[in-house]
Each structure stands twice: as structure tokens, then as C-alpha cells.
Amino acid sequence: MTRPTGNTRLKAARQHAGYASQQAFADALTQTAPRIGLGRMEVSVRQVRRWESPAPPWPRADHQRLLTHVLQLPIEQLGFTAPWQPSGAPASESPPQSAPNSVAPAMPLPQATTSLQPATIGADYASITVAHRRLYWSVKPDHLHPTVVEHTRLGLHLLTETHGIARRVLATALGESLLLAGRIEFFDLRQPEEADASFVRALQAAGEADDPILGAAILAHAAFIPGWSNRRDDASERIRAARAYARRGPASAEFVAWIDAVEAECEARCGHPIEGLRAIDHAEATLAAGSDHESPEWFTWFSPVRLAAFKGNTELKAKRYAQARNTLTAALAALPAAEGKQRTVILGDLAAVEAAEKNPEAACARAEETLDQLALTWYATGMERIREVRQALQPWADTDAVRRLDDRLYGWQTTLSALRR
């Protein structure tokens, strides 16, 4: 497989913004122009193709304004070189400083200058990425996250000293590390803006490595961000892009089913749980049919049990409470003991089922089970489930069961932990 050519920075930013095709991007630019005071302006696919070419022309002023408005990135971070800069020079001599525990802002990936590192550098860097992948399931997120971020910064630096196959191996591992940083930021720390920036960077690295399956994984994760904030169209566009990348892979049945599960959750959160259940049905059929393609070794966050958890949550959103209880109970029983984070989510959903069925004592019992697990494996997504359950239990606020839950939920240690995070 040949290494990608062209302006991969602009392409990655376009796809991350939800425009899977150059035509969709051109249409968005054309429609946006009048809304930002540029009058009627037609941007053609041919123009987008030129911008994504190996030697993109410096956009004229009105096009720069359009690009930066639609993609929400400075023009210097979209792979263009100003005419007054030397060819191949970085767009900014002094990039903005990022916070100590955040991924560097979305800048063009550094190009190799001199080959200083040995041919083993990619594999060496990847071995640390693999260790972080395993540590994610047991190490506290606020302890692991700074380490992962520093690892991504090292990877960005090493790209300037790496060529050939080693660079591609390094870029793949860097993409996975940036994806992990985004996962921690979104699911564990509930920092969606930081996660979105990490996913942009991850997609750039995946493009450098020409790894479409990794790109699909990043785009599907990025769909959660608009999906959880009720921006259905944006989530759907990112999922379509993820599917397009998965087809190029090609992807395993498990990977395709996971994208279906992501779509189901986004649809359910955006108020369309029936569409979500259709996606779940497709995922189950895909898993049953299987495929000849294997999943990559980094694909560790999905299984048939996880699919059942997605299904139970979607049934809950669809108000099919009896089905949701049965699905989630079976998933909880089948869940491996080591998957503490997922356990908090399933327990939280079971508590939500009981609250919806007006069983406050049963809901509180499940909520307290969730708090017990959160004390062992903190997971912001799990705690978010419990806060939603407590809100649903407000009509029974004066009962002993709910007051006991409040004592747990607002105890010194739990409250301090929540405020710190």
C-alpha cells in the first residue's frame, strides 16, 4: 500500500468536521459564504481537490475566511504554506503552548528533517503505546492521562527524526496514543472539547500511517461528541465517514458491529431510539454472519457483551423497560470481572430502569452498587449515569432509600473526587 500524498492536514480536518466527501465540503463552503457576509460564492469540488493536492495553492482571503469558519482551525493549521514562507517551512515558528495535561493543538504533523533514530524506533515507541492500552483498564484516569499526553508529544517529536517504514509504524502508534488520550478525556474525564482536539490529531496521524481502520475508529469515537450533545446531523456525518474508512480496511465483523453500536447510542441520545434499535439489529446480524477479516490488536473496547450493554441502554431510551432489564441483567452476568468501568455503566442503566418503573428502593440499591464499583474504578461516564438516576428519583426524595443514596452520593470523599475531576 502506498503512502498517502496530498494535503492530509486539510483532508483530516474536513473529515473530522463531518464532511466525508469533497462534494459535501464544497457544498458546505458554498452555503456558508452568504451567512458570514461573503455574498454568493460557489466553491467547486475542483477547488477543494486543488487544496487537498500535494502542492496546495495559498487560498485567497475570502476562501481563508470560509475555511477557518467551517473547520474552526486557523489557516496555518490546514496544510497551507504562505507564499512568504520558504517551501516546507512550518506555518508557525512558535506554536501556541498547550496546558500541561492536554494534547498539543491541531498543527500540521512535523516532517522528517534528518534521520537520527534507528529503524527500531517505531516498534520501540509502539511497545509503550501497547502498555498504555493495557493500563487504561485499571489505572486511575487522572494518573494515566498526563503520561499518555507526554507520550504523544514524544511521538510528534520523533516524527521529525524518522523516515520510511519506521515513520509509518511510529505514526500508527501515535494515532493510537492520541485516540487513547481522547477516550480518557471524553469518557473518563468528561472533557469533550479536549477530546475533539485529540481526535483531530489522531486522524492526522492515522492519515500519515495510511491506516483506514484506525481512521474509522477515530471518526466513530468522534461521533460520540455531537451525539451526546444532541447534534444528530453532525454525529451521523462522522459515522458515515467512519463506515467509508472501514470499507477500505477492510474491517472485521466485530468492528462493523461496533460502529453500528456507536450509531445506536447516538441515535438514542438524540431522541431517535427506534433508529438506534435498528442499528443494534444490524450489529447483531453482522456478528452472527462473521467475516474473514480480523480485528486489529488495539480494538479492545468491544465484544458481544458490550453490544448487549449498548442494546440495553437503547431499549431503556426507547422505554422498553422490561426488555432493557433482561438485556442488561444478562450482560452484567456475562461481563468479565476485570471490566470495572463497563460494570458501572450497566449498573447505572439498571438503576435507571428501576427509576423509570417507579421502583425507588430497587433503583437506589442498583445506584449504591454502582457507587461501590466507582470507588474501585472511577469512570466519569458511570457517575454521570448515577446523577441522572438521582434526578429521576426526586419525587421520592424524602424516602429513606433516596436519603441513604444521597448520603453516599454526597459523602466527603465522593464529593471531593467529583469536584477534583
DSSP string computed for 92-123: -SSPPPPPTTSPPPS-PPPPP-S--S-TTHHH
Count CA within 13 A, CB hemisphere, residue 70: 28
Shortest CA distance to 413 belongs to which of 369, 356, 375?
375
pLDDT at 149: 96
pLDDT at 64: 84
pLDDT at 134: 96
Does residue 196 contact residue 238 with C-beta atoms inside 8 Å? Answer: no
Sign of CA dihedral 143, 145, 147, 148: positive
Round to whole Å and give the CA distance between 48 and 30: 12
Helix (H, G, I), strand (E, B), or coil: what is residue 58?
coil
Question: Over 285-325, what HEC string results?
Answer: HHHHHCCCCCCCCCCCCCCHHHHHHHHHHHHHHCCCHHHHH
Shortest CA distance to 352 belongs to which of 366, 341, 331?
366
pLDDT at 20: 86
> Which set of grid coordinates corresponds to residue 335?
461481563
Reported as a single tens digit per residue, the pLDDT across 187-199 is: 999 999 999 999 9
pLDDT at 72: 79
Round to whole Å and give the CA distance between 341 and 21: 36
pLDDT at 96: 40
301: exposed, middle or buried (Cβ count in 10 Å: 0-12, 13-18, 19+): middle
Round to whole Å and give the CA distance between 259 and 295: 13
Residue 95: count of CB within 10 angstroms of its CB: 14
144: left (phi over 0), alpha (psi -120 to 50) or beta: alpha
Round to whole Å and give the CA distance between 384 and 367: 11
Round to whole Å and give the CA distance between 405 and 421: 21
Tens of pLDDT along the chain (421 residues) come to 444 568 888 999 898 888 889 999 999 999 888 887 777 888 999 999 999 998 888 888 778 888 988 887 878 788 888 665 544 444 443 344 444 565 555 555 666 555 588 889 999 999 999 999 999 999 999 999 999 999 999 999 998 888 888 999 999 999 999 999 999 999 999 999 999 999 999 999 999 999 999 999 999 999 999 999 999 999 999 999 999 999 998 899 999 999 999 999 999 999 999 999 999 999 999 999 999 999 999 999 999 999 999 999 999 999 999 999 999 999 999 999 999 999 999 999 999 999 999 999 999 999 999 999 998 998 999 999 999 999 999 999 999 999 999 999 887 666 656 555 5
Helix (H, G, I), strand (E, B), or coil: what is residue 265?
helix
Reported as a single tens digit per residue, the pLDDT across 261-287 is: 999 999 999 999 999 999 999 999 999
Helix axes 360-376, 380-392, angle to 10 degrees: 160
Round to whole Å and give the CA distance between 110 and 89: 10
pLDDT at 87: 46
Sorted by sequence, the CB contacts under 8 Å of residue 241 that are 6+ apart come out as 15, 18, 19, 20, 219
Distances (CA, A) of 372 to 62, 84, 369, 408, 409: 56, 60, 5, 10, 11
